[in-house]
């Protein structure tokens, strides 16, 4: 697991913002996976079933980076990876699927 407090502090430094420790702790709490999973503003449970059917697959499952791969067959993963590489080849954005 990463250190969320450190990551939030990096963002604050980038934004040239200084906040009280109490506010930082609130950000840590409200951005934790367990709290966001139960928050309708973050978990998409307020969407209509036609848009996102949570009975098929909830938007937020385990909170484990890279767990989505467990839902794919080897063939599906290979097809996804091929498509992803092709679509992202000109992008400067880099994403980690595992920590």
What pLDDT was estimated at residue 87? 93
Residue extents of the structural domains in the chain: 64-99
Among 27-36, 51-60, 63-72, the range of highest mean pLDDT: 27-36
Q: Give the DSSP per-residue string, 9-34.
A: HHHHHHTT----HHHHHHHHHHTSHH
The whole model's pTM is what? 0.55
pLDDT at 74 over 70: yes
């Amino acid at each position: 697991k990463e250190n969320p407090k450190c990551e939030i502090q990096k963002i604050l430094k980038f934004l040239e913002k200084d906040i009280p420790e109490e506010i930082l702790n609130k950000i840590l709490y409200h951005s934790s996976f367990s709290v966001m999973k139960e928050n309708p503003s973050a978990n998409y449970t307020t969407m209509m079933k036609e848009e996102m059917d949570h009975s098929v697959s909830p938007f937020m499952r385990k909170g484990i980076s890279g767990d989505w791969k467990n839902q794919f067959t080897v063939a599906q993963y290979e097809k996804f990876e091929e498509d992803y590489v092709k679509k992202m080849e000109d992008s400067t954005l880099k994403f980690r699927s595992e920590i």
